[in-house]
Amino acid sequence: MRPLLKGSAFITGAASGIGQHTAAAFARHGVTRLAIADIHKDNLAATRKAFQKQFPKIEILPIHLDVRSSAQVQSAIAETVRAFGRLDVAVNNAGIGGSGRLTHEIEEEEIMRILDVNLNGVYRCQKEELAVMVKQEDLGPREGRGRIINVASMYGIVAPYHGMAHTAYTTAKHAVVGLTRGDANAYAGFGIRINAIAPGFVETPLVQATMEQSEDKPLAREVRRSALGRIGRMEEIGDAIVWLASPMNSYMQGAVQVVDGGLTSA
Ligand code: NAD
């Protein structure tokens, strides 16, 4: 059977959670050159080591990156293209949570930090990725010049119940959907596909940390409300991103794929 993916990929927030599982899924499904970017140096080194053992035939490029820095994002993308010659798929996944406190109770600095990582970080990455992709060879109607997947959230489509996430998080994720749709429209003519994924609750360190900060622990109640009645696994989001990024998915553009166990549809 032909692999779903081939070529190179760049993934932010790849040293933990959804990003790490997406990188592993990409490696399993045919990517041969994988740039893993993250702000957390130790986790990045550990991920690199684990991947080198697990996927000995794949070229792994670890990049220490803070998506809050335009200069760092520029050099991360430049380094990837220097090493791999081409950027086939980019997954803009790095993100942070935040307490579910009320807007007037939270410091402005915290609000700006959430927006800077979760929205501006995706913007910075997408800008640099597009600049590379528009100049690449077009590989045809299915693969095109490149594909970008932005990791939004179900809170990019609906608002959380009070206490589940901060409004700055919801704002950023809604804006990531706008960023995805706007550029999907603008860059379709270049043969670049851009889509977003909107995960529901997934068992990652981010969710665990957010839930520990909430006083009334509403997660279990929310998860029970979903059609599948359980929290998502990281590899389930990674696998969905593989499909979103693959040439099999050539007619999806500017779409937001909800993967939430039926929570928002319930
Ligand atoms: P996680 O905390 O396990 O992983 C996030 C990674 O991003 C970490 O490795 C972290 O070091 C990195 N990161 C944070 N700030 C960064 C920065 N400034 N520059 C570069 N890297 C940075 O979290 P996760 O749950 O895997 O989240 C990944 C993405 O999925 C986020 O965008 C999150 O909003 C989104 N998401 C998660 C869930 C969920 O339930 N876990 C649901 C919906 C959406």
Please give the chain's pLDDT, 266 residues, in tens. Answer: 789 999 999 999 999 999 999 999 999 999 999 999 999 999 999 999 999 999 999 999 999 999 999 999 999 999 999 999 999 999 999 999 877 789 999 999 999 999 999 999 999 999 999 999 999 999 999 999 999 999 999 999 999 887 777 899 999 999 999 999 999 999 999 999 999 999 999 998 777 766 566 555 678 788 888 999 999 999 999 999 999 999 999 999 999 999 999 999 98
65 phi/psi in degrees, rounded to 5: -145, 135
Q: Does any ligand 1 atom lie closer than 6 A to the CB of residue 247?
A: no
Question: Which residue minimizes the CA distance to atom 39 of ligand 1?
Answer: 202
Tell how far the Cα of 206 is from the centroid of ligand 1, in angstroms: 6
ipTM over 0.95 threshold: yes
Q: Does any ligand 1 atom lie closer than 6 A to the CB of residue 238?
A: no
Residue 43: the pLDDT is 98
Sheet holding 192-199, edge to edge: 59-64, 33-38, 8-12, 89-92, 146-151, 192-199, 256-259
Q: Does any ligand 1 atom lie closer than 6 A to the CB of residue 16?
A: yes
Residue 70: the pLDDT is 98
Question: Which residue minimizes the CA distance to atom 44 of ligand 1?
Answer: 153
Report which ligand 1 atom has the smallest distance to the Cα of 94: 7
Q: With contact defined as beta carbons under 8 Å apart, do 117 and 96 qualify?
A: yes
Tell how far the Cα of 207 is from the centroid of ligand 1, in angstroms: 9
Residue 213: the pLDDT is 62
Residue 247: the pLDDT is 95
Nearest to 245 by CA among 162, 148, 156: 148
Q: Which residues are tagged catalytic?
A: 169
Report which ligand 1 atom has the smallest distance to the Cα of 44: 9
Q: With contact defined as beta carbons under 8 Å apart, do 151 and 95 qualify?
A: yes
Tell how far the Cα of 19 is from the centroid of ligand 1, in angstroms: 7
Q: Does any ligand 1 atom lie closer than 6 A to the CB of residue 205?
A: yes
Residue 207: the pLDDT is 79
Tell how far the Cα of 139 is from the centroid of ligand 1, in angstroms: 31
Q: Does any ligand 1 atom lie closer than 6 A to the CB of residue 150?
A: no
